[in-house]
């Protein structure tokens, strides 16, 4: 994995935590050493994201930092499609319409190679 991929993954992981999370937990989740994690956090802090914390205490990214999702992974697409289809089959008109709008928006931005397989996904 390249350094840029690792930094983006770190941002994505930090996005999921609302409370400080230890460096050890982050390093394990990312599959890197604690030393690499500390360097990556320092690098990100220098580039702008508001990541607060320090070694042995924990880290948290302030919610003000906005990083748009770059692309959904295969499992994320599966979860999104299945969830929206579940809502479309079982909820009231307002939520059904919202679910269909989400699916249309995602469909509009998917690369061609993912689009065909995405439309045919079933549980």
In this structure, the answer to whether residues 39 and 89 fall within a common structural domain is no
Q: Are residues 7 and 57 in the same domain?
A: yes
Do 14 and 47 lie in one domain? The reply is yes
Are both 30 and 56 inside the same structural domain? yes
CATH number at residue 49: 1.10.10.10
Rounded distance, CA 36 to CA 13, Å? Answer: 15
Whole-number Cα distances in Å, 109 to 12, 61, 79, 113, 114: 20, 27, 17, 12, 10
Alpha helix (H) residue ranges in the chain: 3-16, 23-30, 34-47, 74-90, 93-109, 112-119
Count CB neighbours of 88 within 10 A: 16
What does the block give as tokens for 36? 């690499």
The answer to whether residue 82 is domain-embedded is: yes
pLDDT along the chain (123 residues), means of 10: 87 88 95 95 87 88 70 79 88 87 79 66 55
Is 56 in the same domain as 80? no
Domain residues for 82? Answer: 74-119
Asked if residues 67 and 15 have their Cβ atoms less than 8 Å apart, the reply is: yes
Which tokens hold the place of 22?
């230890």
Please indicate, yes or no, if residue 112 is contained in any of the structural domains. yes
Identify the residue whose tokens are 């996005």: 15
């Amino acid at each position: 994995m390249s350094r840029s991929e690792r930094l983006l993954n770190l941002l994505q992981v930090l996005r999921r935590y609302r409370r400080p999370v230890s460096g050890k937990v982050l390093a394990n989740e990312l599959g890197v050493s604690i030393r690499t994690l500390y360097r990556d956090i320092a690098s990100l802090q220098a580039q702008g994201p508001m990541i607060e914390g320090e070694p042995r205490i924990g880290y948290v990214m302030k919610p003000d930092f906005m990083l748009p999702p770059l692309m959904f992974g295969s499992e994320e697409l599966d979860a999104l499609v299945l969830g929206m289809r579940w809502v479309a089959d079982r909820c009231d008109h307002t939520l059904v319409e919202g679910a269909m709008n989400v699916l249309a928006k995602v469909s509009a931005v998917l690369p061609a190679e993912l689009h065909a397989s995405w439309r045919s996904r079933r549980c």
